[in-house]
A and B are shown apart, each in its own frame.
Chain A
């Protein structure tokens, strides 16, 4: 199932002109689903720091953080998708278009290869 997810992800990225077969992904699990982000889009991974809440924004916008002088919004997908939240230890700062966003959910980072294995293990 995970392998299938990876394939469809690659396809999507290819359609968007974002990726080739060679791409590596940072993957993470939300509920039973596996998601991935093209590793080339990952700006940096940053330890958890104090967050400033933005007033009058939806709950999945957790606030902003200071990335060496740049203000970066923090998004939590678990809240967005109505899933139970967990304790976070890091931010993954991702480039989306010309903007940066810090994702909270990426706690288990797997490489492409690792995930293939996981995928086949699950399939077995």
Chain B
């Protein structure tokens, strides 16, 4: 129906996602403030938007289901029904269901029809029970019989429009024009009898009436539709005159008093499931229906029972189906779009305009340059720099979203977790407005979820234990985000029992992660929980504690160029601190020189730079070179050795050592010289080449040549295992 609109589907899915988040958040907040009308209105509007827009694309299942939700929400906001926990619960479940329905039209994934039907009838039931008529409009049936088309008929039309016709922007001429388009309009007579005396005329009032004769082959309802916007408020008669071959005289009258609705009232657009109809008509009881439904079998099972297929064959087919589903889903999720405020784009266009002006001024200057123009040149160069920086910031800001979009799923998650774990948990969010790159937000969503689950499951104690320890019965999980330097910090904090040093150590020894007598600092011990296969949960729950997750969290965060650290106090709680770059496209880097080559070291991994004192470097057999940094010995890596470069300096006491940290390990990397600090745009090496050990990516330096960005982790690997075999 609306092929032309199909190109807006992606925009719809994105928008629908936002509306779903609003609905879900709103419903959760509603549980705390059931009387909040603004909140209800907001939820209603989002549901309403999904309904209206999904209909535009012919997503009828979505539109119909949302319509059910909307009906109930409308009753709630009109005060015709009160928000109860069961209603809130039903609406939350329905939101989940709506999510899968939307996902299904997006990716073709299967939908659990049973759930949809179940919720549809529950929503209908909840909307009905204390039955005040929700709609004042009685259902009207269309009784106008349509005259046979094709053959010309003569209609006599008299029309007295409402006096305020003009004030609604309606134009009677427009209507006569439209009638002309339908056929032959003749005998148009204007009745001016109601015109008052000139002195009393209100020029905005319509005092006129018309009568006319229309000869057309069109149906009566087509003629009526010309008057669509005015007929309810007009005195209108359309009479078919007797024409040979026609037996009926159809008249259609509308007046302000008698309102006939052509609009079909569909409170309930979707057909009811058979079972529901049977229950309503009293044929069967709900119990009987539920029993019957429980006996329904899946196709696979029936085929197996009929020996048409073996269970293995069915299982294989099912597996294939699942694979195809997930393949279809991953294909669909590849295309990503971002919605940008038009203001942001307008500003950008202005800035580009300025850039063009600066550029033309510069080329003008260049065409007739003399040394005396030097100050002007410098001034314009400065302007160019300002333009460029501003454009860069603006362009980057297009990709920036508030982290609240990633936080928004947690109220629901924590609510469910607290119910499952039998703990009372309060979630406090702050810093939701902190902006960061869309890709970063998407990628931290899963790690954050795991950390929150971990806090709910392991961090917080059961209520009894908390009371025993003189703590409030309700545990608190705090999520906070804030800017720190060029980075963003996200903290996940609980006021639970804190990490247990001895338990972690015992477990790590048992798992063979560390030796029996290995001496570790507290910080090193905490980091053990990020080791693959480590889990201290005494009972395995379906929430966490499967021994997967924490290592994945760490890997994901580091994959984004970030770090994770832990602070914990026994009995008081634990804080996980994630430090992330604002964007993946640009990093703050330190440019260093080794021989003729320039490398960029990510600033995030640099702790300090030092010049060792003579005698500060020791060589230990089997461990290579170590450097004494204020009493601690760190492994030292000569960058020129790792990358086979020609250095200028080989004596560490004359060179510069960068102390780098990655995954809790520290290393001193020797370079010739530090050139400076700058933001660099990360370029992919893999796009046209492949991954190179020890290099995280490339960038274009100020002189147009390529510089490499150091991968600190990879550098350590090379240092440990020797040079990788060149491919």
- Residue numbers of A with Cβ under 8 A of B are 49-50, 52-58, 63-66, 69-73, 99-101
Contact A72:B688 (CB < 8 A) given known A52-B705, A53-B597: yes
Q: Which residue of A lies closest to B723 (CB)?
A: A56
Q: List 27 A-B contacts (CB under 8 A).
A: A52-B698, A52-B706, A54-B689, A54-B692, A54-B695, A55-B642, A55-B643, A55-B694, A56-B643, A56-B693, A58-B727, A63-B706, A64-B685, A65-B706, A66-B700, A66-B706, A69-B700, A70-B683, A71-B683, A71-B684, A71-B698, A71-B706, A73-B688, A73-B689, A99-B687, A99-B688, A99-B689
Which residues of B sit under 8 angstroms from A70, Cβ to Cβ? 683, 687-688
- Residue numbers of B with Cβ under 8 A of A are 597, 642-645, 683-685, 687-689, 692-695, 698, 700, 703-708, 718, 723-724, 726-727
The 3 closest A-B pairs by CB, nearest first: A55-B643, A52-B706, A73-B689
Residue among A55, A58, A70, A99 having the largest count of chain B Cβ atoms under 10 Å: A55
Which residues of A sit under 8 angstroms from B718, Cβ to Cβ? 56
Which residues of B sit under 8 angstroms from A63, Cβ to Cβ? 706
Q: Are B689 and A66 in contact (CB under 8 A)?
A: no
Contacting residue for A71 out of B597, B644, B685, B704, CB 8 A: B685
CA distance A69 to B585 in the complex (A): 13
Contacting residue for B645 out of A55, A57, A73, CB 8 A: A55
State the Cβ distance, B491 to closest chain A Cβ, in Å. 36
CA distance A63 to B596 in the complex (A): 14
Which residues of B sit under 8 angstroms from A71, Cβ to Cβ? 683-685, 687-689, 698, 706
CA distance A64 to B597 in the complex (A): 13
Q: Are A55 and B687 in contact (CB under 8 A)?
A: no
State the Cβ distance, A123 to closest chain B Cβ, in Å. 39
Q: What DSSP secondary structure best describes chain A's contact surface?
A: strand
Contacting residue for A100 out of B644, B688, B694, B705, CB 8 A: B688
CA distance A50 to B598 in the complex (A): 13
Residue among B703, B726, B727 having the largest count of chain A Cβ atoms under 10 Å: B726
CA distance A73 to B704 in the complex (A): 15
Q: Are A64 and B700 in contact (CB under 8 A)?
A: no
CA distance A53 to B687 in the complex (A): 17
Which residues of A sit under 8 angstroms from B684, Cβ to Cβ? 71
State the Cβ distance, B443 to closest chain A Cβ, in Å. 23
Q: Which residue of B lies closest to A99 (CB)?
A: B688
Q: Are B597 and A52 in contact (CB under 8 A)?
A: yes
State the Cβ distance, A68 to closest chain B Cβ, in Å. 9
Q: Which residue of A lies closest to B699 (CB)?
A: A71
Q: Which residue of B lies closest to A96 (CB)?
A: B688
Which residues of A sit under 8 angstroms from B704, Cβ to Cβ? 49-50, 66
CA distance A44 to B253 in the complex (A): 76
Contact A66:B692 (CB < 8 A) given known A55-B643, A58-B727: no
State the Cβ distance, B685 to closest chain A Cβ, in Å. 6
CA distance A49 to B687 in the complex (A): 21
Which residues of B sit under 8 angstroms from A52, Cβ to Cβ? 597, 698, 705-708
Q: Which residue of B lies closest to A64 (CB)?
A: B706
Contacting residue for B688 out of A50, A69, A101, CB 8 A: A101
Which residues of B sit under 8 angstroms from A53, Cβ to Cβ? 597
Q: Are A55 and B688 in contact (CB under 8 A)?
A: no
Contacting residue for B705 out of A57, A58, A66, A99, CB 8 A: A66
State the Cβ distance, A105 to closest chain B Cβ, in Å. 18
Residue among B597, B693, B708 having the largest count of chain A Cβ atoms under 10 Å: B708
Q: Are B705 and A56 in contact (CB under 8 A)?
A: no
Which residues of A sit under 8 angstroms from B693, Cβ to Cβ? 56
Q: Are A56 and B687 in contact (CB under 8 A)?
A: no
CA distance A63 to B718 in the complex (A): 20
With A71-B688, A73-B688 already in contact, 16 other A-B pairs whose C-beta atoms are closer than 8 Å: A52-B698, A52-B705, A52-B706, A55-B695, A56-B692, A56-B694, A57-B692, A63-B706, A66-B704, A66-B705, A70-B687, A71-B683, A71-B698, A71-B706, A73-B689, A99-B688
State the Cβ distance, A74 to closest chain B Cβ, in Å. 10
Which residues of A sit under 8 angstroms from B723, Cβ to Cβ? 56
CA distance A69 to B700 in the complex (A): 7
